[in-house]
Amino acid sequence: MQNSERFEVFKKVVNNKFNIYNSLLLNLPY
């Protein structure tokens, strides 16, 4: 597996986690 490919996958995973985290924050009742 190429390094750049692994980096792309890594970025995608981080982005997904970030999106989930953001959604959770937005759904918190203040």
Per-residue pLDDT of the chain (30 residues; tens, 9 = 90+): 688 999 999 999 999 999 999 999 888 776
Quickly list H helices, 1-30.
3-27
Residue 12 domain-assigned (yes or no): yes
Residue 30 domain-assigned (yes or no): no
pLDDT at position 20:
95
Count up the domains in the chain and report the number: 1
Residue 17 domain-assigned (yes or no): yes
pLDDT at position 27:
84
Query: Long-range contacts: 1-9, Cβ < 8 Å, 24+?
Result: none
Domain span at residue 5 reads 1-25
